[in-house]
Amino acid sequence: MAVEFKLPKIAEGVESGDVLEILVSVGDTLELEQEVMELETDKATIFVPSDVEGVITAITCDIGDTIAVGQVILSVEPAAASAAPVESAPAVPATPVAEKPVETVQEPVVPVAPVAPVAPVPPVAPVVSKPKTAPVETAPGKKVVVAAGPAIRRFAREVGVDLQTIQGSGEHGRIVREDVLKVVREGSRQGGSSAKSSSGSQSDGYGPIHVEKMPKIRQTIAKKMHESWTTCPRVTNFDDADVTALEEIRQNSKKEYAAGGIKLTSMPFLVKAVAMALKSHPVINASIDLEQGQIIYKDYVNVGIAIDTERGLVVPSLREADKLGIPDVARQLGQMADNVRSGNFSIDDLRGGTFTISNLGAIGGTYSTPIINTPETAILLVGRSRKLPVVVGDEVKIRLMMPLSLSYDHRLIDGGAAARFLNEVIGYLEAPSRLLLAL
């Protein structure tokens, strides 16, 4: 009797997801913990493992479907055949053992021995090898699961390339990024026939268009931005930090850090400065519960880092940033960026933040008005540092200035509190030795 495999509880607060890839086919033999599909939920892409085993008899969802926790996604026929031999095995030896000792002793005829090994051996090899390959070759009308990592699958979807049409050039035929790019380039030369939207050609009356389903991550971002904009009265303060001395320290230290596999940017200094300032300004590190009429002050400092990816903006949380030194912050920032861009992170990695930093300077631009990542009450955007003439004492000097934009929830944070917090952040950046000695 077939067993229904339902979408299990993925994570707290997650009730559904979009099917990105189905990694099995009808007729496949499913094992415990085998990954059956790739699912996009909130901002995380995960693989769903099986908690049943047997032969797949039906797949009840398709790529692009939104499925809910508890919804049936597979039907599996348990492998009952393996249980039968176990019960019959003891019965067979029981009868022969009683009568054959006497007869067997008298009939150790030599010719029988050569005949037995020769006949059974040839049939055994083909019978064992064929069942393993048959499901893949025979599965009618089903796509063969291709060898490609999550990041490559995602990239192929974004550029409209069907991985089933690609012969991988990586190890064991694995598809790599260059294989997908090759198809895109060929499609461009041929007028885009190899890489185009699955929706086909359309027109809006003014010219050709193509329509794609809004990715789950973009839907989530849209909802969060709308929630922030409609519930959080925002004010933004703009200022600059003189990071000339900080840059000198960074330049003198980056080779030593690089030798240890760490890329030293100005970001670890900024994260540390923000974390230390948050400890002194608890109202910036708080959230509001209007229903209960409460202010929730966080006694921990978790700094969210906005990371730009091919799929959209993702904000993992750097836990207890105030307790980390500059080398630890730099190391963890590098690991976080690598994990997020390769899709190797969980939903829990995106939770628990108390304040967010967005680094626009890595791309370009100076000031902006960042949207608060609710339920947090403030966010700091850093622009690209540039050299400016600055009055120092009675002289005009060229200094490296870092533009800062602090948006804050005016329901909780007044302008004076925001200015004092930003002044302390700037103070740390302009005297970086304080950061190196901070505990």
**Average pLDDT, 10 consecutive residues per value, the chain (439 residues):** 85 78 88 86 78 90 87 86 46 46 44 43 39 37 63 74 84 84 73 46 80 79 89 94 95 91 93 96 95 94 91 89 93 92 83 94 86 95 94 93 96 96 96 79
- Is the pTM here over 0.95, yes or no? no
Domain locations in the chain?
A: 1-137, 150-202, 217-437
pLDDT the model gives residue 328 = 94
pLDDT the model gives residue 148 = 77
Query: Tokens for 33?
Result: 């913990």
pLDDT the model gives residue 211 = 81
pLDDT the model gives residue 209 = 82
Could you say which of 172, 226, 281, 410 is catalytic?
410
Q: Residues, the chain, total?
A: 439
pLDDT the model gives residue 224 = 86
pLDDT the model gives residue 364 = 80
CA-to-CA dists, residue 163 to 117, 130, 145, 150, angstroms: 47, 26, 9, 12
The CATH number of the domain covering residues in 150-202: 4.10.320
Determine whether 226 is an active site residue.
no
CA gap 272, 97 in Å, rounded: 79
CA gap 419, 291 in Å, rounded: 28
Fold of 217-437: Chloramphenicol Acetyltransferase (3.30.559)
Specify the 3-state DSSP secondary structure of 235: strand
Strands 234-242 and 286-289: unpaired
Pick the CATH number of 1-137 from 2.40.50.100, 3.40.50.720, 2.30.110.10, 2.70.170.10: 2.40.50.100
Phi, psi (degrees; rounded to nearest 5) at 428? -65, -40
Nearest-CA neighbor of 298 among 377, 180, 407?
377
Nearest-CA neighbor of 321 among 289, 347, 357?
357
Measured distance between the N- and C-terminal CA atoms of the chain, rounded to whole angstroms: 63
